[in-house]
Amino acid sequence: MARLPVYLRALHALQERGVATVSSEELAAAAGVNSAKLRKDLSHLGSYGTRGVGYEVEYLVYQISRELGLTQDWVVAIIGVGNLGRALAGYGGFASRGFRVAALLDADEAIVGQEIAGMTVEHIDRLEDVIAERGVSIAVIATPASAAQSVCDRVVAAGVTSVLNFAPVVLSVPEGVDVRKVDLSIELQILAFHEQRKAGGPVEYEPAGDGDRPSDQAEYVEAVEL
Amino acid sequence: MARLPVYLRALHALQERGVATVSSEELAAAAGVNSAKLRKDLSHLGSYGTRGVGYEVEYLVYQISRELGLTQDWVVAIIGVGNLGRALAGYGGFASRGFRVAALLDADEAIVGQEIAGMTVEHIDRLEDVIAERGVSIAVIATPASAAQSVCDRVVAAGVTSVLNFAPVVLSVPEGVDVRKVDLSIELQILAFHEQRKAGGPVEYEPAGDGDRPSDQAEYVEAVEL
DNA sequence: ATCTGTGAAGCCGTTCACAGCG
DNA sequence: CGCTGTGAACGGCTTCACAGAT
């Protein structure tokens, strides 16, 4: 359920505004989805709504948080402390959602030892030790493409089964390991593709009317290198 | 066709290794997809393969590049020069794929005027002028969540119809405008969700065997703030 | 004989529409 | 009467399997 985090964010916003109850229609609008879809998604977690009324915001926040595993803390290691790694290290959205960055690792001697976002960058040689000692369960790979697969192999060998990959390569991992990827350059390429079509470009194989509705925000992604 | 950029990357890698021809099977493996899917995707661009042989790498690279609109240059503006904006400005994967970052804009007087990745950060007040003068066609929003919607409204009003949003909000835009979003915190939440399940967590509503196959890299995304 | 291109079947997520609860 | 929860219809994407080109 990749949409639950989006609902959760919308619910948090409502909570801050002091809203106690929402209808599927309202919440769906805030999350940018169709109301039937939202109801079906929520019904998978159980019947947390009240017919004729809607959903109680606070209760729903708790249920979704629990479903997503956000009621516990997750220990994250960031590997590769280039521009992107630095940006991730300083990202405030982690702690607030139960993600604790416990290590920054890099292979570059010039970077190792630097203080970033209140943490000292450690040498990649310590990777296995750090994962074991601090109980890292999610590895964020922000290395250059060339290093990504070997870093991935090492974190997997060290027992990590969740990887967020920012390097522009397809990582191969054994069954049971989850890899998600974020690739900026692919995002831009997809935008360029649509942009080209709009600009009265040559119509290639579809008649017309692709239909980009307002809330139809695409959800594919790709990665930044370094 | 969100997979074309992935194919293209795999093809570039093959090209660098001097490979002249690939079968659908090989290319599919490199891109992390099924070979039937790959053939169907490529067949939509025309018949660029040779039966009994495979696809000519160089020719296919050209055809896909053309389809994606990468044979022309795209002018990009990055709005919000926090940690993430800086990382994006310094990202090398842009220029090589026909994306030219033509402007960095921010509202913070302390940041305006700084030199980053060879460019001077300009004040957000100049947004409309910059878009018009330099022919910006893609806007990258890397501002805090609170500023994202108003920045988005301004770039859309200025004629931009492609937006890449890193702020953790659902942007609402008029029909005809393309928004893609990258949200890191949502990525981590999805990983946490799966991780929780693996760890012998309470089985909630599915029997078992979710089946994370190796090449099944998820493709949803979400954004970093600032 | 090999590997592409593609009709046909299968599968899964989305949407519709309404029964039924509050 | 309003709004949730959900069976049923729909549509698009994926996979299969093979005809046919080289």
Q: How far is the CA of B121 from the C1' of C12 (A)?
A: 47
Q: Find the DSSP H helices in chain B.
A: 4-16, 24-31, 35-43, 57-68, 83-89, 127-134, 145-157, 184-198
Is A165 among the annotated ligand-binding positions?
no
pLDDT given for residue A206 in this prediction: 38
Check whether B207 has a pLDDT greater than 80: no
Is A80 among the annotated ligand-binding positions?
yes
Same domain, B84 and B129: yes
Examine the fold and report which residue of A48, A67, A86 is the final residue of a domain before the chain moves on: A67
Cβ contacts of A225 on chain B, cutoff 8 Å: 91-93
Average pLDDT of the segment spanning B19-36:
96
Selection from B160, B207, B144, B215 nearest residue A91 by Cα: B144
Amino acid at B89: A
pLDDT tens digit string along B164-184?
A: 999 999 999 999 999 999 999
pLDDT tens digit string along B130-173?
A: 999 999 999 999 999 999 999 999 999 999 999 999 999 999 99
Check whether A117 has a pLDDT greater than 90: yes
Q: The tokens of A174 are what? A: 């054994």
Same domain, B88 and B157: yes
Nucleotides on strand C with an atom closer than 7 A to protein CB?
1-7, 14-17, 20-22
Average pLDDT, chain A: 89
Nucleotides on strand D with an atom closer than 7 A to protein CB?
1-7, 14-17, 20-22
- Distance between first and last Cα of chain A: 29
Average pLDDT of the segment spanning A61-86:
96
CB atoms within 10 A of CB A63: 18
Contact B101, B92 (CB under 8 A): no
- Contact call for B189 and A218, based on CB within 8 A: no
- Residue range of the domain that includes B131: 74-182
* DSSP notation for A64-130: HHHHHTTTS-EEEEEE--SHHHHHHHT-TTTGGGTEEEEEEEES-TTTTT-EETTEE-EEGGGHHHH
Average pLDDT, chain B: 89
Selection from A168, A185, A218, A198 nearest residue B70 by Cα: A185
Separation in Å, CA of A101 to nearest CA in chain B: 12
Chain CA centroid to CA A133, Å: 25
Same domain, B142 and B99: yes
Contact A49, A55 (CB under 8 A): yes
CATH assignment of the domain containing A141: 3.40.50.720
Same domain, B104 and B163: yes
Same domain, A79 and A38: no
Check whether A224 has a pLDDT greater than 70: no
Q: The tokens of B92 are what? A: 């090398």
Same domain, A131 and A47: no
Cβ contacts of B7 on chain A, cutoff 8 Å: none
Same domain, B168 and B190: no
Check whether A167 has a pLDDT greater than 50: yes
pTM: 0.88
Same domain, B151 and B81: yes
Same domain, A189 and A178: no
With cut-offs at 50, 70 and 90, classify the pLDDT of residue B214: very low
pLDDT given for residue A217 in this prediction: 45
Check whether B93 has a pLDDT greater than 90: no
Same domain, A143 and A208: no
- For C17, nearest residue by CA–C1' is A36
Is B54 among the annotated ligand-binding positions?
no
Percent of chain B with pLDDT over 90: 83
pLDDT given for residue B95 in this prediction: 86
Sheet with A99-106, strands from edge to edge, namely: A122-123, A99-106, A74-79, A138-141, A162-165, A178-181
Same domain, A159 and A87: yes
Same domain, A92 and A191: no
